[in-house]
A and B are shown apart, each in its own frame.
Chain A
Amino acid sequence: MSLKGKAYIAGAWEHPTRKATDKSVTLLHAECAKGALEDAGLSKDDVDGYFCAGDAPGMGPMSMVDYMNLKVRHLDSTDVGGSSYQVAVGHALEAIAAGRCNIALITLAGRPRSEGQATGTAPRAGNPAQAEMQFEYPYGPATANMYAMCAMRHMHEYGTTSEQLAWIKVAASHHAQYNPHAMLQNVVTVEDVVNSPMVASPLHRLDCCVISDGGGALVVTRPEIAKSLKRPLVKVIGVGESPKHQMGGDVDLVYSAARWSGPPAWEMAGIKPSDIKYASIYDSFTITVLMQLEDLGFCEKGQGGKFVADGNLISGTGKLPFNTDGGGLCSNHPANRGGITKIIEAVRQLRGEAHPKVQVPNCNLAIAHGTGGSLGTRHCGCTVILERE
């Protein structure tokens, strides 16, 4: 039985803050929950399924349901980093179709900026019992240099250039200028990006996403409830999830898990990449976007550099408008996890509620793809395809 269309995104809300020195992580989660429920026209007592991931403090979802005083009958705290919220939409779809819940709430929040995290450049020691930890941590794997190694290899195999990668930031900045909440609102040029300081070769400072506080939440519900609400209908028509790792030592860094999460999502949705009007593509770094676009089938493998160049991702001028809120590269990367904001902007586009300067005309089909974890070691790709009904 296909689960296509068995759930709708009825509520979507992004916290406007980018620096929350006066708020706890749990308060940010609750404010996002409130915002998404109000957006949907629902109340907290309507929620009977709760989904969160590793950014939520406490053991799985339990501290959060206690803090928010939710009475739910279904829980899920699958944590795969920044794509956990794409995964949560897929799992909520399954839970709703199975009758395990009717109104699923998904929250994300964090405050790495207030806490002074050097997210991209400081290696973080984990539990030494984590099998790979002792064989990697001594070598200084931060976030930036892991993605940089993918970029370096992609350049080697396919001739991708720093200037091509820079176009991804340029496109994001063209969109961010219209987002009053974006951290970086200035339009930048290819020269600005390639002349910004090198962080981890070949990635420059402007190849990296922002470090921001904030969060977001989604409400996913069954079709008949969605249709009883007063919001435009955004239907979940395709999902696919897949991890990618080192495969015992057969490391191949030129493709992402999108190569495997995309096909089941496209098949379920019954559409192809050329049908997509708007794309939210995870943008921790410029290289992340380029590889995912290739792996999702928007262009041939290795042709991502040519595909993104010359403004092809800019709404109104390019063929594939992407991350029209400015994305993680310019607007927001709350809790170092950009998955939920990808879905929220896709919902805005499908509802016709994006900023008029970046709204895609007649936007009826959108994709929101996430990559969580580290592209250079182990990560999870998750593809969500949405349709305006």
Chain B
Amino acid sequence: MAFVQRKVPFVGTPETNPETKPFWDGCAAGKLVISRCKDTGKYIWYPRGISPYTFGPVEWVEVSGKGKIYTFSVMERANPPYAIAYVELAEGPKMMTNIVDCDFSKLQIGQAVQVKFVPTESGPPMPMFAPA
């Protein structure tokens, strides 16, 4: 079955949580920019302005956009169906996302994927992933 992109809703505006502006600026520029703990060097998901590991400062870093599928589920009751997933980024953290541009019946845990930015209805484009 050919892939059909669902309409992607958004809630609030990027200004709702001002601390995450670098992430949203990255999305607008087609770059995946996430926060990293300055104390430990560990990457963080979801983006936030304080380290969840040490309560220390974070820095904003563009990551590779490469990852692999940790788990997924195809919502077959939706029209069009969509695949929600956690992707484990090459840099470490696992992020909730959608897998797009693919044959849902061929999705597998462990599959290599690459980030792709998909427009939303009322917000900036969001990072999703397609088979690499």
The interface of chain A, by Cβ under 8 A from chain B, is 121, 123, 125-126, 128-129, 131-142, 144-146, 148-153, 156, 197-203, 246-251, 253, 377
Contact = CB atoms under 8 A, between A and B. Distances in A.
Contact of B10 (A121, A138, A141): A138
B67 to A, nearest CB: 12
Contacts of B43: 249
A150 B96 CA distance: 13
Tier of interface size on chain B:
35 or more
Contacts of B109: 152-153, 156
Interface string B120-132: 1001001010000
A202 B13 CA distance: 34
A121 B77 contact: yes
B93 A149 contact: no
Interface string B17-54: 10010000000000000000000001111111000110
A137 B47 CA distance: 14
B71 A200 contact: no
A145 B12 contact: no
A210 to B, nearest CB: 16
Most buried by B among A132, A134, A142, A246: A134
B8 to A, nearest CB: 5
Given A138-B8, A140-B78, 10 more contacts: A125-B9, A131-B48, A133-B11, A134-B17, A137-B11, A138-B126, A139-B98, A201-B76, A248-B42, A251-B70
Contact of A249 (B9, B11, B44): B44
Contacts of B115: none
24 contacts: A121-B77, A128-B12, A129-B12, A133-B11, A133-B12, A134-B14, A136-B96, A138-B126, A139-B128, A140-B78, A140-B82, A144-B77, A145-B75, A146-B84, A153-B71, A198-B76, A200-B75, A246-B46, A246-B94, A248-B93, A249-B93, A249-B94, A249-B95, A251-B93
A149 B98 CA distance: 12
B86 interface: yes
B11 A126 contact: yes
Contacts of B45: 135, 246, 248-249
A149 B78 CA distance: 16
Contact of B120 (A136, A138, A141): A138
B76 A128 contact: no
A129 B126 CA distance: 18
Given A121-B77, A148-B73, A199-B77, A139 B84 contact: yes
Interface string B53-94: 100000000000000001111111110001011100000111
A118 to B, nearest CB: 9
Contact of B77 (A139, A146, A200): A200
Nearest to B43: A249
Nearest to A157: B109
B122 to A, nearest CB: 10
B10, B42, B73, B93: residue with the most chain A Cβ atoms closer than 10 Å: B73
Nearest to B91: A249
Closest 10 CB pairs of A and B: A128-B12, A249-B93, A148-B73, A249-B45, A135-B46, A153-B71, A248-B52, A251-B94, A145-B73, A128-B16
B105 to A, nearest CB: 10
Nearest to B13: A128
A131 B84 CA distance: 19
Contacts of A138: 8-11, 120, 123, 126
B97 interface: yes
**Which of A123, A135, A249 has the largest count of B CB atoms less than 10 A from its CB?**
A249
